[in-house]
Amino acid sequence: MSTHPPASDLADRLARARDAARAHEVDALLVTPGPDLRYLVGYDAIPLERLTCLVVPADGDPVIVVPGLEKPAAVASPVGELGLELLTWGETDDPYALVASLVPESGVLALDNHMWAEKVLRLRDALPHASQTLAGSVLRDLRIRKTADEVEALRRAGAAIDRVHAQVPQWLRSGRTEREVGRDIADAIIAEGHATVDFVIVGSGPNGASPHHELSDRVIEQGDPVVVDIGGTMPDGYCSDETRTYSVGEPPEEFAAYYAVLLEAQEAACAFVRPGASCEAVDAAARSVIETAGYGDYFVHRTGHGIGLETHEEPYIVSGNTEELEPGMAFSIEPGIYLPGKHGARIEDIVVCGETAGERVNLRPRELVVV
């Protein structure tokens, strides 16, 4: 299986990016290593202090500027298949002057949102009469609606992380530390097909009340609820993210009561997903169940985030976001309830908005797993 889209798809993305630049009255997009570069040309370039920069003029052909020593890697990537003009620079050359020669001196330049500050400032010095803006607003409409191939990539990622969660109960035992369990999980994330481990959260007992706790040397005890939130990046660049909550032995009565509420809330939000539903309405579908049950103060984060080539990207499923869902949008549905000093719980699936309803790409049981 290829780890990047076919050259024809990438060429289409570049053409649409050029059209979007014109629509936003931008003279050129400047894109350095990161998810936007991988999206546009399939090149998963290593972020370095040396400048690699894709230049996409609103009128004209794209050019990629790379350090001379990175030319073999660039040519071996889809950049070579695309036949992009590739300009190299040597160790004593000024790559910023080279980029400046490719764009209008006083134009509007859209810089990718993840560009390092030192590169932003060097480009500003090289182009003092140009104005800088963020490329995110130009590229968001391309990336926010996934194609059928991208949805399939998210399904593969979802299945891979499902296989990891299927193994978690064997590692959760009283007397083991969160860190020990986390190491087993990280190994399994790679073994089940991911290229990288992006995060491993094992929040036992009171640590489960901290949504982004990650790992510690706390020893898991009998009766502990344990929040396990894990994800990685697949070889094709698409990300997984899934949370399930477990209990080592029978959980406290209080926990069991609010876990049932959480399960209902997560189901309500997933069922609400459809074209035309607003992001904030999906958030409200989960939040209203939790608030009605009296736990509203303990649901302390948004219901979800978009996912694709980044674990967190648009759209965000949160109050105040009136954007309507469209087919191809992919995001998490992950309500949580957290009782400080006691325990917490979260249930998370990645959901893709289809033509009429949502599709979960995570299929593990959502009921509390007692191990």
Give the pLDDT confidence of 125-169 residue by residue, as tens digits: 999 999 999 999 999 999 999 999 999 999 999 999 999 999 999
The verdict on 318 and 170 lying in the same domain is: yes
Q: What pLDDT score was predicted for residue 4?
A: 82
Q: What pLDDT score was predicted for residue 27?
A: 98
Domain CATH for 110: 3.40.350.10
2 belongs to a structural domain: no
pTM, 2 dp = 0.96
Does 11 have pLDDT greater than 70?
yes
The verdict on 91 and 169 lying in the same domain is: no
Please say whether the beta carbons of 336 and 248 come within 8 A.
Answer: no
Residue 335, SS3 per DSSP: coil
Q: How confident is the model at residue 2 (pLDDT cuts 50, 70, 90)?
A: low
The verdict on 134 and 157 lying in the same domain is: no
Average pLDDT over residues 341-354: 98
Q: What pLDDT score was predicted for residue 327?
A: 98
Does 280 have pLDDT greater than 80?
yes
Q: How confident is the model at residue 121 (pLDDT cuts 50, 70, 90)?
A: very high
Does 181 have pLDDT greater than 50?
yes
Range of the domain at 342: 148-370
Does 180 have pLDDT greater than 80?
yes
Q: Which of 143, 167, 192 is the last residue of a domain?
A: 143
Give the pLDDT confidence of 35-45 residue by residue, as tens digits: 999 999 999 99
The verdict on 154 and 131 lying in the same domain is: no
Average pLDDT over residues 291-304: 98
The verdict on 256 and 364 lying in the same domain is: yes
Domain CATH for 256: 3.90.230.10
The verdict on 139 and 178 lying in the same domain is: no
203 belongs to a structural domain: yes
Please say whether the beta carbons of 353 and 275 come within 8 A.
Answer: yes
Q: How confident is the model at residue 1 (pLDDT cuts 50, 70, 90)?
A: very low
Please give the tally of structural domains in the chain: 2
Give the pLDDT confidence of 202-234 residue by residue, as tens digits: 999 999 999 999 999 999 999 999 999 999 999
- Rounded Cα gap, residues 279 and 371, in angstroms: 35
The verdict on 195 and 337 lying in the same domain is: yes
Q: Is 296 exposed, middle or buried (0-12, 13-18, 19+ CB in 10 A)?
A: middle
Question: What single DSSP character describes residue 147?
Answer: -
The verdict on 236 and 279 lying in the same domain is: yes
Give the pLDDT confidence of 40-75 residue by residue, as tens digits: 999 999 999 999 999 999 999 999 999 999 999 999
Q: How confident is the model at residue 293 (pLDDT cuts 50, 70, 90)?
A: very high
- Cα–Cα distances (Å) from 160 to 63, 148, 231, in that order, read 36, 19, 10
Q: Which of 143, 165, 189 is the last residue of a domain?
A: 143
DSSP class per residue in 210-241: STT----SPBP-TT-EEEEEEEEE-TTS-B--
Non-local CB neighbours of 359 within 8 Å, separated by 6+ positions: 351, 352
The verdict on 138 and 153 lying in the same domain is: no
Average predicted confidence (pLDDT) for the chain: 97
